[in-house]
């Protein structure tokens, strides 16, 4: 399936927020995250994606349909600079079609340098997804460090060229 990765603009803020709610709902079975009195999952840094230069958000679209979204920031645990995947969602209908893998590769290629990816360890599907993606993308040239809570996959994609 062909797709495009589209920058999220301020006018699309509400659309991103709705997709983020799906992602937070999807992950809520693995972490202690409840909806608030307004029946939404809180995300303290959401507005920062529209004000801070070190945060980027993207829609994944195909034929004007939303397949998912990716949020990237520089909130690293072990490196001084670089990028990390903050949120990643492929809608269930489009999973198992290699879209997630291809989007991850495209996002990594968009930002060369140090990367940290921290999947929820207690989400075995997400953990396995990211471990396999990163192992294949880096040809095994990555390390795993634990921040005291979860494993973080660390790699530099400038050396893969």
CATH code where residue 46 lies: 3.40.630.30
pLDDT of residue 97: 86
- DSSP category for residue 75: -
Give residue 116's domain range.
4-156
Asked if the structure places residue 52 within a domain, the reply is yes
Q: Tokens standing for 23?
A: 């992602």
User: Which runs of E-coded beta strand occur in the chain?
Assistant: 4-7, 56-62, 65-73, 83-90, 114-117, 143-146, 151-156
Share of the chain above pLDDT 90, in %: 78
The side-by-side arrangement of strands in the sheet containing 114-117 is 4-7, 56-62, 65-73, 83-90, 114-117, 151-156, 143-146
pLDDT of residue 160: 52
Asked if the structure places residue 106 within a domain, the reply is yes
- DSSP category for residue 36: -
Q: Could you give the CA distance from residue 65 to residue 29 in angstroms, rounded to a whole number?
A: 26
Please state the domain count of the chain: 1
Asked if the structure places residue 83 within a domain, the reply is yes
Asked if the structure places residue 44 within a domain, the reply is yes
pLDDT of residue 119: 92
> Which tops the pLDDT comparison, 11 or 121?
11
- 34, 24 in Cβ contact below 8 A? no
| Predicted confidence (pLDDT) at residue 131 exceeds the cutoff of 90 | yes
Q: What is the mean pLDDT of residues 24-32?
A: 80
| Full-model pTM | 0.92
Neighbours of 161 (CB within 10 A): 5
- 6, 70 in Cβ contact below 8 A? no
> Which tops the pLDDT comparison, 39 or 59?
59
pLDDT in tens, 73-127: 999 999 999 999 999 999 999 998 899 999 999 999 999 999 999 998 789 999 9
Q: What is the mean pLDDT of residues 15-33?
A: 87
Asked if the structure places residue 161 within a domain, the reply is no
């Amino acid at each position: 399936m062909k797709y495009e990765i589209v920058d999220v603009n301020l006018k699309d803020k509400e659309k991103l927020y709705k997709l983020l709610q799906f992602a937070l709902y999807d992950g809520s079975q693995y972490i202690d995250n409840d909806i608030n009195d307004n029946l939404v999952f809180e995300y303290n840094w959401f507005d920062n994606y529209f004000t801070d230069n070190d945060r980027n958000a993207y829609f994944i679209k195909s034929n004007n349909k939303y397949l998912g979204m990716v949020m990237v920031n520089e909130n690293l645990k072990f490196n001084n600079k670089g990028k990390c995947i903050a949120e990643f969602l492929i809608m269930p209908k489009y999973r198992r079609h290699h879209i997630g893998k291809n989007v991850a590769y495209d996002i990594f290629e968009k930002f060369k340098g140090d990367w940290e990816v921290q999947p929820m360890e207690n989400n075995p599907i997400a953990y396995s997804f990211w471990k396999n993606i990163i192992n294949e993308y880096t040809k095994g040239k990555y390390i795993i460090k634990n921040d005291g809570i979860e494993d973080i996959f660390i790699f530099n994609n400038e050396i893969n060229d």
